[in-house]
Amino acid sequence: MFFGGWLTYLKWWFHLNGSIKKHLNLTKDAQNLLHEIIEERRNSEQEKDDLLDMLLQARYEDGSPMPQKQLIDEVMILFTAGHETTSNALSFMLLLLAKHPDIQEKIYQELSNINIHNGDIMQYVLQLQYTKQCIEETMRLYPPGFIMDRISIMDDDYKGKKINEGTLLLLSIYEVHKHPDFWESPEEFNPDRFSPKNKKDYSHQYYPFGAGPRMCVGNNFAMYEMILTIAEIVKKYRVTTPLEKIKINPLITLKPKEVPLNFTER
């Protein structure tokens, strides 16, 4: 539901003011649109070698295809989840680069020293190590998925605190990513902390895509998408901002409150 796991205490209000009905109708419209797109692709008998083709061609162990409803749900999740979170992360990163021109220049220098051979985009992406570090550090400071929620499947006890079965538990990734016990100078934008030379094992304190069996399935796709986007922007423009302090807007995902950016051609 659009209000996510963080605002369930306002569920009665969302029912009362019509928000739930409104968004359910919007969801239905999106499902109908996806149904039309899927049927059009099926009837075209064309292979475009894209994600939709992969889902249409996927088969279970018994050889049966994915049911239409599941197919629509899969496409909708990949589209909505991969769209908003990625755009939020890119907005935060452009603000950080605008506030740190020296780091922005390092990305530009990296881009200037790399050539694409035989149009191999993947090989190009893999060479953009410093750009990748900047994205990783951005998602440490401002993780779009800033909270994880889990429901306790049984009664439990943690340090004397009783947890009943069915309890909704929230983990603040945002706070873990900035906790001084886990990070040196946690408020500093320092992409070098993720360099191969300096990188430590952050697996117990770094969750930009969640963790466990429900970790984001699109994490690699999102990273490649962001690396290519930042590369194209920095290659063509210098980015500046008059913003003195980045302010956050924690809704279902973490957003910047404002993104005033100026782009000057190089």
d(CA 166, CA 168): 6
Q: Label each residue of 181-195 as H, E or C.
A: CCCCCCCCCCHHHHC
Nearest 5°: phi and psi at 170?
Answer: -115, 135
DSSP letters for 91-146: HHHHHHHHH-HHHHHHHHHHHHT---STT-HHHHHHH-HHHHHHHHHHHHHS-SS-
pLDDT at 73: 86
How many residues can be counted in the chain? Answer: 266
pLDDT in tens, 65-109: 999 999 998 888 777 666 788 999 999 999 999 999 999 999 999
The domain 67-265: what is its CATH number?
Answer: 1.10.630.10
Domain segments of the chain: what residues?
67-265
Higher per-residue confidence, 8 vs 211 = 211
Lowest average pLDDT, out of 161-170, 186-195, 233-242, goes to 161-170
